[in-house]
Chain A
């Protein structure tokens, strides 16, 4: 049969990729009465048909049609915490004592780059969880089981940068001292060949332990897999078995193959089934899918979502757990009832921060609603205003508390990480409870076991720090510290003050060198004696036009190091301070990580600091008050911190 010209035309102009297949013409001439075809026309038609055939085959094998990028805005590349910024503080005038020059690097300062072994060796921490070498990221499957705390983690065994990830494993009796164990799960199946990614553990009522984790398959599809201990009677749970029927979940229709990861710990439904949630996205709306299961092998996708927030992008490492309205203890993940609120937390892929919101869970519908939609997941409160990502909680039935783990990445260059041979830490684990006083946020506090490392207490009581002055605190050493302090500003000054402060923002207002009437004041940690390098952690009190005070809590890395290849951002946020409360601060200093807590854990900031001079015996601690209008009275307890087995 001869393909007509119009057919050929139509197949090109009207079809979309891949092209419809036009049959090759029968080359033979039928015998009989058909008009003979001119040979050139025949040749042309044959060539066209062959071309179409080849074209359609090529289109078939070349893949799908064009994939439009999801963001067509011409916005500039957003600056994230990974990019250091040069901060130029504005001066309000030099006051007595601390001149602004002290908060600037000395002109013509020695260039400390490149990094010496001495500088790099110092960066390793004394009491933060980290593998002996190479790269770590998300915490996985934290659980207390058979007398041991287990921590698994995303681990790249081959280099201090991310790569083909396996599950590292360590155990502890006290969340502080750790015994490193062999790798728990490798990339040895097709369904996790490109990575054994993040997952969570669930303890079943009969005492069994199961793990659900994401595998990146040999084709880069994200699937969920089931694994369990090979020998449940082994208290160290060294060997693990992957369920032969894996994967147990694949991306459902409408969900992209690369937007389906990080299954949560399961909790019980009113029907007695198990329920999990998995983060994802649809276009730019971050969502959390809900699955029910009875055996962790077959799952039923619920029709609705646990929750969704437009514009937040992909939700990684979703976490979902109850908190007690009245009690001081944590709650098992399955607990529900009138005395309970629920937290939804997600790690936002777009801005690398962990956000949470408090709300109400409807167990029958499998839906959660935030108490305050303006502070919804991804647009409201963060666990931490510094470097803190991919965090995950577990219920510690040993001490009846909910414990939070988080990945703290490096903010130096990859090249430095290669040089020093390791990258990333876990933050000190924190307990989480509802803030009973505000009822609208959680409180995080380092687990009490960390206090066991305290030694050699030095007390500084009622130190008056005049406006614009710096007080060195005489300590045996200053790289491993636990600092607990209270501050009081001069009440009369505050009342008299009738100059309203301009709007303050930790990140944008010039750091600790930018002086206001009532701040900044606090500590300079990892400080060199000439303040060529130092890291201020401070309060900034701002009096608004309405006379109300707002307190900001910030950590300033802009002068933390002479090196020119480390992040020098300033982090922080408002911290609620209630009537009658003193300003309270706790800082854990552990070499290249500083964890700061305000108002008993209402606002937290984790920083990575890489000084070149303020290391070893040259690291010092100062109190400072850069406020122009008030003196500050500080009472401080400083402990030296022993090293743990990490």
Chain B
């Protein structure tokens, strides 16, 4: 068909409309992340989930908590792998396995539940607990006088949990 100015206009309007709503939601995400201790981490976590495009603050908090869950699962896999290749670290790794299981089985469902039931205070507790557990895992290597192979993983979990916690605090 003939490339008419109207077709171009149509495409421009299409684009502009997308940009308009995308800008508004992007602004919410950016402002929210500014209130967390790790702006870039927060951005990447929220933007990685397409639901963040249309989410309100509670929705963003839920996305962040799911990121904690995913992180927890990955860390559990890492622990299993470490157990195979570093049997000398078994005691500490077993403890870490327990605490990360706690994160995934207890802390995350508690936080999601609290956000859905409308009492974010308890969601904050779940994420605070997650940070404690990741620190406990890190310390368990020190307690066995060993070097931790999980320092980055534990720090990463602590950081994501603190991002989630900061977003949840905005709901209080």
Chain A contacts to B: CB under 8 angstroms: 5, 8-9, 12-13, 17, 38, 40-41, 44-45, 47-48, 51-52, 55, 59, 62-78, 80, 82-84, 108, 111, 113-114, 161-164, 194-195, 197, 216, 220-222, 258, 313-314, 349-350, 352, 413-415, 418, 564-565
Majority-rule SS of B interface residues: helix
Closest residue on chain B to residue A69 by CB atoms? B170
Closest residue on chain B to residue A76 by CB atoms? B37
Given A74-B35, A194-B118, A216-B117, CB of A44 within 8 Å of CB of B10: yes
Number of interface residues of B (CB under 8 A): 65
Question: Measured between alpha carbons, how far is A415 from B110 in the docked complex, in Å?
Answer: 12
Q: Does chain A have a CB within 8 A of B9? A: yes
Q: Of B35, B133, B165, which contacts A71 at CB under 8 A?
A: B35
Q: Of B2, B32, B110, B131, which contacts A40 at CB under 8 A?
A: B2
Q: Does chain A have a CB within 8 A of B77? A: no
CB-CB nearest 3 A-B residue pairs: A415-B102, A220-B118, A44-B6
On whether the beta carbons of A113 and B10 are closer than 8 Å, the reply is no
User: 14 A-B pairs, CB-CB below 8 angstroms?
Assistant: A38-B4, A41-B6, A51-B13, A51-B17, A65-B24, A70-B170, A72-B31, A72-B34, A74-B35, A74-B39, A164-B113, A164-B117, A350-B169, A413-B136
Closest residue on chain A to residue B36 by CB atoms? A77
Q: Of A76, A83, A161, A349, which contacts B106 at CB under 8 A?
A: A161
Q: How many A-B residue pairs have CB under 8 A?
A: 165
Question: Measured between alpha carbons, how far is A503 from B24 in the docked complex, in Å?
Answer: 48
Question: Measured between alpha carbons, how far is A426 from B97 in the docked complex, in Å?
Answer: 33
Question: Measured between alpha carbons, how far is A122 from B14 in the docked complex, in Å?
Answer: 66
On whether the beta carbons of A414 and B32 are closer than 8 Å, the reply is no
Q: Of A71, A258, A564, which contacts B143 at CB under 8 A?
A: A564
On whether the beta carbons of B145 and A77 are closer than 8 Å, the reply is no
On whether the beta carbons of A69 and B122 are closer than 8 Å, the reply is no
Question: Measured between alpha carbons, how far is A82 from B162 in the docked complex, in Å?
Answer: 13
On whether the beta carbons of A66 and B28 are closer than 8 Å, the reply is yes
Question: Measured between alpha carbons, how far is A213 from B170 in the docked complex, in Å?
Answer: 26
Closest residue on chain A to residue B118 by CB atoms? A220
For B110, list chain A residues within 8 Å (CB): 161-163, 414
On whether the beta carbons of A314 and B35 are closer than 8 Å, the reply is no
Given A62-B54, A69-B31, A195-B119, CB of A48 within 8 Å of CB of B10: yes
Nearest Cβ on chain B to A12's Cβ, whole angstroms: 6
Q: Does chain A have a CB within 8 A of B116? A: yes
Given A69-B31, A349-B121, A350-B172, CB of A82 within 8 Å of CB of B129: yes
Q: Does chain A have a CB within 8 A of B86? A: no
Nearest Cβ on chain A to B72's Cβ, whole angstroms: 12
For A78, list chain B residues within 8 Å (CB): 169
B35-79 vs A, Cβ < 8 Å mask (1 yes, 0 no) = 111010000000000000010110000000000000000000000
On whether the beta carbons of A83 and B140 are closer than 8 Å, the reply is no
Q: Does chain A have a CB within 8 A of B128? A: yes
Nearest Cβ on chain B to A154's Cβ, whole angstroms: 10
